[in-house]
Amino acid sequence: MKKILILTNWKLNGTKKKIKKLIKKYKNIIDKIKNIKIIIAPPLIYLDYTKKKINKINIKLAAQNIDLHLSGAYTGETSIMMLKDIGIKYVIIGHSERRIYHNEKNNIVEKKFNLVNNNGLIPILCIGENYAEYQNNQTKKICIKQIKFILKKTKTKLLKKLIIAYEPIWAIGTNKSPEPREIQKISKYIKSYIYKKHKELYNKTIIQYGGSVNINNFHEIIKQPDVDGALIGNASLNGKNFISMIKQIR
Ligand code: 13P
């Protein structure tokens, strides 16, 4: 049975009270289903708080972003050193909301990805096409271009795992998503590209799908053979629904 990697991206949502409640719900599921691994990405300000709350629960944490600098006069930023200091293992890199609202182009994404990897943490790379590109059958081309750009400077031997989240921009927060068989096709294509170009990453590559994952489509998506998990935004914020969704794995 394959292991399913669930990453919940809480984006700019939550309060201490809400986080406490959500963790309680998440705990129920993690004890009951053996073949899942859950990583939570809370807002940066709540990382340390969430870490205390998940004490002894088998849940890991991811940061939603980092700065390129390690320290210095960069008001408002958080560095990889600080994440290391509080024991965080994963960082989401290249999310389309950062690419769009913070103008993070591929060159910034590449630098952040490699900064995370070179410092011994695990980057989770988000890639995906916009709607016009999807309609014009450009998905494969766009995804490979994004991956290629990142991996050309990556010390792949340092990668404990290559985690890629395929998140079509048009599917994020829209209640629209590609058909599960389309997600399978692109996941398979990405894996075969990586295995061809980077043999050292064979069996070390995890492809997640993200973009309007919900209780109705979750099961069908994660049962696709080359889909190893899901990156879930909105549907991870309602504890009850999240649990019902994850229970479908059994
Ligand atoms: P939604 O699940 O809300 O569409 O968000 C997906 C996402 O962006 C996860 O990173």
pLDDT tens by residue, 162-184: 999 999 999 999 999 999 999 99
Distance CA 12, CA 17 (A): 15
Q: Picking from 30-39, 62-71, 123-132, 163-172, which range would have the lowest pLDDT averaged per residue?
A: 30-39
Q: Give the number of the atom of ligand 1 that is nearest the alpha carbon of residue 234.
A: 3
Mutate to test the pocket of ligand 1, among 8, 9, 163 (most ligand atoms within 8 A of CB): 9
What pLDDT sits at residue 31? Answer: 81
Q: Give the number of the atom of ligand 1 that is nearest the alpha carbon of residue 126.
A: 10
10 is in an annotated binding site: yes
* Residue of the CA atom closest to atom 5 of ligand 1: 233
Mutate to test the pocket of ligand 1, among 40, 172, 216 (most ligand atoms within 8 A of CB): 172
Percentage of the chain beyond pLDDT 90 is 92
Percentage of the chain beyond pLDDT 70 is 100
173 Cβ contact list (under 8 Å, min separation 6):
212, 233, 234
Instruction: Indicate if the pLDDT at residue 1 is higher than 90.
Output: no
- In the chain, the domains with their CATH numbers are 4-247 (3.20.20.70)
> Tens of pLDDT along 113-122?
999 999 999 9
Catalytic sites, residue numbers: 95, 167
Instruction: Indicate if the pLDDT at residue 250 is higher than 80.
Output: no
Within 6 A (CB) of ligand 1 lie 9, 95, 167, 172-173, 210-213, 231-235
**Dist. CA 71 → ligand 1 center (Å):** 30
What pLDDT sits at residue 182? Answer: 98
What pLDDT sits at residue 30? Answer: 86
What pLDDT sits at residue 52? Answer: 95
Q: CA-CA-CA-CA torsion for 104, 139, 236, 54, nearest 10 degrees? A: -60
11 is in an annotated binding site: yes
238 pLDDT band (50/70/90 cuts)?
very high
Mean pLDDT rounded to a whole number for the chain: 96
Distance CA 203, CA 210 (A): 21
> Tens of pLDDT along 8-32?
999 999 999 999 999 998 888 888 8
Q: Give the number of the atom of ligand 1 that is nearest the alpha carbon of residue 173.
A: 4
- Which runs of consecutive H residues, i.e. helices, occur in 86-201? 96-101, 106-118, 131-135, 139-151, 180-197
Instruction: Indicate if the pLDDT at residue 195 is higher than 90.
Output: yes
* Residue of the CA atom closest to atom 7 of ligand 1: 233
pLDDT (average), residues 58-69: 97
Helix, strand and coil content of the chain, in percent to the nearest 5, comes to 45, 15, 40
Q: Give the number of the atom of ligand 1 that is nearest the alpha carbon of residue 232.
A: 2
Cα angle: 10, vertex 1, 23; to 5 degrees: 25
What pLDDT sits at residue 123? Answer: 98
> Tens of pLDDT along 74-117?
999 999 999 999 999 999 999 999 999 999 999 999 999 999 99
173 is in an annotated binding site: yes
Answer yes or no: pTM beyond 0.85.
yes
Query: What secondary structure does DSSP assign to 41-75, as a single string?
Result: E--GGGHHHHHHHTTTSSEEEEES---S-SSSS-T
The answer to whether 61 touches 88, Cβ cutoff 8 Å, is yes
